[in-house]
Amino acid sequence: MGELLCFLIFVVAGCIAAYKRMNLSNTVWLLAAVMVLGTLFGEVGFLAWLLFLAAAIPLSMENIRKTYLTRPLLKFYKKVSPEMSSTEQEAIDAGTVWWDGELFSGKPDWNKLHTIPKGRLTAEEQAFLDGPVDQVCAMVDEWQINHQDADLSPEIWQFLKDNKFFAMIIKKKYGGLEFSAYAQSRVLQKLAGCSAVLSSTVGVPNSLGPGELLQHYGTAEQQDYYLPRLAKGDEVPCFALTGPEAGSDAGAIPDVGIVCKGQWEGKEVLGMRLTFNKRYITLAPIATVVGLAFKLEDPDGLLGGKEQLGITCALIPRDTKGMEIGRRHLPLNTPFQNGPIRGEDVFVPLDFIIGGPQMAGKGWRMLMECLSVGRCITLPSTGAGGAKTVALATGAYARIRRQFRIPVGKMEGVEEMLARIGGNAYLMDAVTRFSTVGVDLGEKPSVISAISKYHLTEKMRQVINDAMDVHGGKGIMLGPNNYLGRGYQGAPISITVEGANILTRNMMIFGQGAMRCHPYVLSEIQAAAIEDKNAQLDAFDKAVFGHIGFAIANKVRSFWFSLTGGIFHSTPFNDETRRYYQLLQGYSANLAFLTDISMGMLGGELKRKERLSARLGDILSGLYLASATLKRYDEDGRLQEDAPLMHWAMQNTLFDIEEALDNFLSNFPNKAMGFALKALTMPFGRRCKRPDDSLEHKIATLLQTPGTARSRLGDGQYLTREEGNLFGDLEQTLDNVIAADPIFERICEKKKAKLSFTQLDKLADEALENGWIDEEEATLLRETEAGRLRTINVDDFDHEELVAKIQSK
């Protein structure tokens, strides 16, 4: 019995050391101390010491460990590690690790999360939002843009140029606005709530495009020439990457440039002969300067180096001989300027390469670094902005629209959709706020940008689908008074661009996350690539035994979490959010542990098991979305009015994390190991549930009732109550309906009848004549009826109005 107790103490001591992540030396000394105590009490004998020393000595003595343990491990590692392409390596090298690294650690530092500063606008940025952004929103006529002109009006185009909407990222010394990423996000959110064509037109030049590439990599001459012209709107940029043969696999572009000599402006110069076929290029039809990605080859050795130089980026003026540009695509009836660009044997000087000839072959790294920033801002922000505006509009509509003599928003089926819309809008804004602050802190968060792009575009699709269901016929009948239909049509566009969502989820989030965010995986890869054998062994020894300790620690942490549910984990707040922090801490340990098990057992095969890696990516994503939600709740003052939105976002996200965890374990290739892992991580089954009906009822009520929480949800959106702003009209009608309700009920009591909430203008006349209401109340009822009819009515047309006209010159 004493020997068993001593053994248990030994195991517990080892687990404590692992849980606390003590280093190898301290762990060995701790276990040796337990052995000494056991010996003093007569419970540890010679055999036990022999076994202990057989393990401790090789681990503790560096030369023995490297010779008999590390060297065979290194040989095995080289054999089973997956081959990494050059484009994959450049993508991993391009970004930085930020909060995503904490989430992969198995023990996120929540205090560190809450010390990250809150995003704030400067006075100049706020003035831009309140001035030019509101002004251009007021100029928008969605029906004119989408159905009649298939373009923004000339007045809007000029206004955008005059007010430097395309220069938010350009530094002030070149004439740009030099706004923060946070400010850019706020601008795009407001524009997206007003017009998808407008937000796309503004978003792309401020994301992955010539302006961003020139500022980071351009020569001084290129910067001095192009950036002031871009800032003033004298040049309109586009960037051409994808083509018929290379969409999501952009690194496989077949477009080629051959280094050669040729004539340029009457002189023989060293240049490139380009052949390319690009499509899906936003702003291409009207662009004056094209950023072009291609593979550069030097078959004659004119540059004195290798023949295959790799992906290169160059700036090509629109009027360059041989350039075919101007035709348009029509992306799902959302007519932002987008089209193909082609060219065959287009000769340009070598100086057209962004950054000059020395940047030849470095284009992929340039693109990945810029994309890791731009993808954090543009699509997540347009998704969040659209969701916020749609949330308020759908809440207002559900309160105004009545069926069966009650507002449709009081029906439980509609409440379910309103809750999803509101909860997702709250989370989406939280993510954009947090992610853009990271960019402003100097991060290039490639993994976080992939998470943000994928999940916020998917959530926007769910939001718009739910909103369409609530609106019914109002949503599907296009016309000047439809504020949802075009957004519904265009939702798949954001799903597809900047890396299709299928690719992003199945290959990028976890594929890059495991490499970049795991504290040891990248170190092992880099160590194995060192040419000097001694240095290679030293580096791999440090990385691999650090990795082993990390894996053991997370196994212990996962098991402790499975037994206790994390109730002993410390949290930064001892309130209603406490449980959420504890669960996220446990799932972080689960993620780190399962990642190590998967890479250890499957090796390079994990790269091809896309659905498995996607589920691990879902866990990582959920941890990030939940972190952003908790941070937003704290930044907003931990207000009880906002608590239902926070609770919904957290509970829904935690449920999704467990769903991904459960599905990962159920589909693990080795069924016995999958069963064992499930017993270790989920011995009592699932802990988390979807948000319940009572919580969703609170959110549905919040969306239908004007108040400070509802206003915070729609903060920053274009809701001015002026003629032509459908969303502002909805807000005014909502206020009127709520104010008119008690007057209507009083009239019903006077008439001793339960009347239908219709024809309020006629009812007002009757009630005023009978002295039941005064003139002010009658005016309110008439205004309410007019607004109610504007809200529920749909457009109709003569046949000729809908037939495309062929205009003769």
Q: Write the DSSP string, 699-759.
A: HHHHHHS-SHHHHHHTTTS----STT-HHHHHHHHHHHHHHHHHHHHHHHHHHTS---S--
| Catalytic residue, candidates 498, 658, 731, 783 | 498
Picking from 534, 511, 533, the residue whose alpha carbon sits closest to that of residue 521 is 511
Cα(607)–Cα(14) distance, integer angstroms: 33
Name the token pair of 732: 């005014």
Cα(551)–Cα(10) distance, integer angstroms: 19
DSSP β-ladder status, 406-407 and 338-349: unpaired
* Rg of the Cα atoms in the chain: 31
Name the token pair of 461: 């699709």
Contact 386, 191 (CB under 8 A): no
Contact 649, 391 (CB under 8 A): no
Query: Is position 498 annotated as part of the catalytic site?
Result: yes
Q: Which residues are CB-contacts of 606 (< 8 A; sequence separation ≥ 6)?
A: 82, 598, 599, 612, 613
Neighbours of 806 (CB within 10 A): 5
Contact 282, 200 (CB under 8 A): yes
From residue 773, alpha-carbon distances to 185, 745, 782 in Å are: 48, 12, 13
- Residue holding tokens 């003093």? 40
Cα(727)–Cα(711) distance, integer angstroms: 13
Q: Which residues are CB-contacts of 256 (< 8 A; sequence separation ≥ 6)?
A: 274, 275, 276, 294, 295, 296, 297
Contact 640, 118 (CB under 8 A): no
Cα(647)–Cα(725) distance, integer angstroms: 32
Picking from 138, 166, 185, the residue whose alpha carbon sits closest to that of residue 239 is 166
- Residue holding tokens 């991060």? 443
Bridge-partner residues for 402, per DSSP? 407
Q: Which residues are CB-contacts of 658 (< 8 A; sequence separation ≥ 6)?
A: 587, 682, 686, 687, 688
Which helix (H) or strand (E) element contains residue 256?
Answer: strand 256-264
DSSP at 484: S
SS3 539: helix
- Residue holding tokens 């298939």? 150
Cα(594)–Cα(514) distance, integer angstroms: 11
Cα(733)–Cα(747) distance, integer angstroms: 20
Name the token pair of 397: 């509509």
Cα(304)–Cα(75) distance, integer angstroms: 37
Q: Which residues are CB-contacts of 121 (< 8 A; sequence separation ≥ 6)?
A: 129, 180, 182, 183, 186
Active-site residues: which are they?
A: 498
